[in-house]
Structure 1
């Protein structure tokens, strides 16, 4: 169905600050995206997701919104957005925008009014609470960015909640007027013609109204943040993923359905699969939920299988849908994060992209992943990320995955800008510039294009069921199936050749972009980081 275009879609994430700068101020912008959209269309993506470009003081680079309906001047104007949307549609690309509903900037007019007094009409639009008798915060909740999640405000003589930076106060979703106002902000962009939204931190939208303390994490909890962050020391039972959020998501879904817009929700939780299943249940709430499961450093075949099976099992119970990613603007790039040898290897980069695009669910490709870009080294004096500044040197922050895209290897700043870029262009990225790879049939870019276009003709990879088959480390083996049609995929996750005994003879499908594997009856030989797709010969 046309309305189900998002099922199995390849969604290309654009981080606007670092994609393309059109005016020489060193910061990427909307006209820059428009000028370079041909690259994404030629790649074979189905849609683009653009990280926040709304008016903001940029304490968290746009995830602190001060006006939901305005484009920040550094990115352009509403007319520039309309031109970008028109160009995307002309190229056959759907456009998804990032929408941050759980919190705003402390510079938003709503917060300015709310903090002015305890009796004004917007006094309860944010989460305010009195201190304990000794003056300390109301409870033990922690911020994702470190330290307490409560900030004292001398105007109201109360604390306000901030799950992220102190400059990002949490909205009070228990207030009906807040819910109504946020739906109006979403409606504004629906009427402008967007195809969907990626809702940031959408399970943070409600908090426990009783403000109960979170219990300690215990030995079995798996946090969504680094172990050196105290946030990982709690089970976040009361500060997010509250049941009241489900009813709000149902209202949101009804609004979006009226415009044919899609909802992709970011769901970060210590036990994410059941939350994601509830959030995408049978077409009542989100269309699909974004998974963090493959954004860690662990990447053994056993671990990957466990993560995928856990989510697939949970979603099967609710007829939900997931969206996978192996890189984004918040984690080190996969080309470095899953590189245990320390040396560059295009074969390995191909494998991870092929795996991402083969799992059941939709796929989010982060800009530069199609080039095999490694994590960039950003010196301390050039760091921009408040997360990195807070946890340096144990954690260098997120700037290394946010450096500008290299377009033209021979030009200053790789053709990203005529000015001084907001983050330095990595020297290691210059040989991987788009103009260098575009003419090389053996490049990562050439493979990415071939893979995405081939995948468009493989409906099993977009919507087929998934079933894992037992294989020894370092092999990952699964089957995608729909009725009598099946397609098996085998991945050698190591830098050594591997052999697998198949259950039945397989034949590579026509046009497969993978080479190097050898079939001898039911014996499959794979080269280092080899990938093989095969159709059972008796399942025509």
Structure 2
């Protein structure tokens, strides 16, 4: 496979990540090298040439450090070692070396808001109220009637407090009770997190995606959260009934992020992205990435749970990050491990192939960094996981009202005719998608018109134009049902027009523009269903 040509702008050579395309790998589901039904680091390493062939700049690997797997790696029991189900530190070193040899940077997940309850820090912390790590987690006394200290609720259901008889106190957890909240206000905890940062950067890691960073600091006064107004949205969890004003995003958090950035700046070319969700995410993302002393960018949820991809939704999301905002540089994803596959959310079955191409070209034209989720380049849809096969603790706890995240985490289909579609020679931890054989990598490699080949084309197209990778973005009016915007950088000006629906729309290119990329039916002064035209100014 030939890797698409890449370009580096002299103005951005020192910031490779700006405008980068990053490929997310969920390690449990990418490739199993040892036949235990779970993907692993050697499996990833073996398939890195395929990833490089997409033309992406970097990979982001979801958690692979030691963990009891209560939340599949987001419950860490050792920040400095690899969980045996994924391999060893030596395996990770091989992966880093292979990725770098292929021109790929490597990002890893860091989970700093909480640990596993099996982490040695928590084991020590819960043992007494006066041990050296007694204040490394968030502990509080019961109210006089024995009830929890306040009304905070956990994301996965129930109070954000669990009683611990060893200490005679409650400990806080924003997620599972197996994920006790780190006391990141504590200077000793902060120093340890900075030391962990240096550990991985010293191993050659190029950056972090920092999980749920807005949950990392709470209000020490433990003030009750106010109720959330009822806007008619279905509420499936107690968490949905509150405004999360006090259990997260304390005003001290940006100062800690400046300390993190200070460590990153000790190394060349390192990159940090904050994951931020919730009702106040726009303000928090800009706060956490403000100026040159905090994190580089933030990764939000504008598209991940959107029920449709419409011009209004795209425009609303991108206009929050205007080009004149200077230091504020966004990151975008249509899919990830926590959200249903976009192709299932956004397109009827008969339109999915055409829509997958339009979606990919649109992503390639957005201002900011873009993230692809493994299998997105194949057009994989959401898999309906039977209750007996569920692994997702949130879905099990809230069945059937919470859609399982497992349906977006099923095994990567490498070979249509191989057992388990080439993912493993054993029963995989989640079932393969029943319709994924037709979308397998080997099938699409043989088809020049496949979604896989079009993904490579879209990424190469982005990489070949400075206006798309780094340029400003300005929306323009193209008529009903159409999304249109201009991108401009370094003397290059481009017009991007998309029909994201199944109804043809009238549109003709204005004078002075030359079409450089057309998708779908663009004849007769119209854009057909899921068609697009990208033009470059000749003036």
Per the normalisation by structure 2, the TM-score is: 0.95
Which residue, out of 255, 267, 275, partners 1:247?
255
Structure 2, gaps ≥5 residues long: 1-11
Q: Who is 1:265 aligned against?
A: 274
CA contact (8 A) 2:385 2:404 kept: no
Matched with 2:4 is none
Cα distance between partner residues in 2 of 1:47 and 1:533? 25
> Matched residues in 2 for 1:293 and 1:144: separation?
19
Q: Which residue of 1 aligns with 2:59?
A: 48
For the pair 1:372 / 2:379, whether they are aligned, the reply is yes
Whether the 8 Å CA contact 1:277–1:317 is kept in 2: the answer is: no
1:277 aligns with 2:278: no
Distance 1:221 1:378 in 2: 28
Contact 2:466/2:489, CA 8 A, preserved across alignment: no
Give the Cα–Cα distance (whole angstroms) in 2 for the partners of residues 504 and 219 of structure 1. Answer: 50
Q: Give the counterpart of 1:421 among 418, 422, 428.
A: 428
Listed one character per residue, the Cα deviations across residues 468-505 of structure 1 (whole Å, up to 9, x for unaligned) are 11244421111111264311111101112111255544
Whether contact under 8 Å (2:154, 2:160) holds in the other structure is yes
Q: 1: distance between equivalents of 2:511 and 2:140?
A: 64
User: What does residue 536 of structure 1 align with?
Assistant: 537
1:514 paired to 2:519: yes
Q: How many residues align?
A: 526
What does residue 300 of structure 1 align with?
A: 310
Structure 2 counterparts to residues 151-162 of structure 1, below 5 A: 151-162=162-173
Instruction: Specify the alignment match of 1:82 in structure 2.
Output: 93
* C-alpha displacement of 1:173: 1.1
Query: 2:518·2:534 contact (CA, 8 Å) conserved in 1?
Result: no
Unpaired runs of at least 5, structure 1: none
5 Å matches for 1:118-267? 118-219=129-230, 227-260=235-268, 261-267=270-276
Structure 1 SS opposite 2:282: helix
Q: Does 1:488 align with 2:500?
A: no
Structure 2 Cα separation of the partners of residues 7 and 132 of structure 1: 49
Is 2:67–2:78's contact at 8 Å kept on the other side of the alignment? yes
Cα distance 1:476–1:404, how it changes in 2: closer, same or farther (>3 A)? same
How far does residue 343 in structure 1 lie from its aligned partner after superposition? 3.2
Deviation at 1:527, TM superposition (A): 1.3
Distance (whole Å) between structure 2 residues aligned to residue 474 and residue 492 of structure 1: 7
The match for 1:29 is 40
State the Cα distance separating 1:360 from its structure 2 match: 0.9
CA distance in structure 2 between the aligned counterparts of 1:492 and 1:177, rounded to whole angstroms: 53
Distance 2:187 2:518 in 1: 53
Do the aligned residues in 1 keep the contact of 2:156 with 2:175 (CA within 8 Å)?
A: yes
The structural deviation recorded for 1:229 is: 2.7
Moved over 2 A (4+): 219-222, 226-230, 315-318, 341-345, 470-474, 482-485, 500-506, 512-516
Question: What does the per-residue CA deviation read over 1:118-139, in whole Å, with 9 as the maximum and x for residues that have no partner?
Answer: 0111001000011111111111
1:460 corresponding residue in structure 2: 467
Please give the root-mean-square deviation of Cα atoms over the aligned residues, in Å.
Answer: 1.6
Task: Label 1:281 to 1:455 Cα distance change in 2 as closer, same or farther (>3 A).
Answer: same
Counterpart Cα distance in 2 of 1:438 and 1:501: 34
Aligned to 1:356: 363
> Is the 1:221–1:270 Cα contact (8 Å) retained in structure 2?
no
Alignment of 1:330-479 (within 5 A): 330-339=338-347, 341-479=348-486
* SS across alignment from 1:281: coil
Q: Following TM superposition, by how much is the alpha carbon of 1:372 offset from its aligned partner in structure 2, in angstroms?
A: 0.2
User: Partners of 1:7 and 1:221 in 2: how far apart?
Assistant: 39
Per mean C-alpha deviation after superposition, the further-off stretch among 265-274 and 359-368 is 265-274
Distance 1:231 1:298, change over 3 A: farther
2:8 alignment partner in structure 1? none
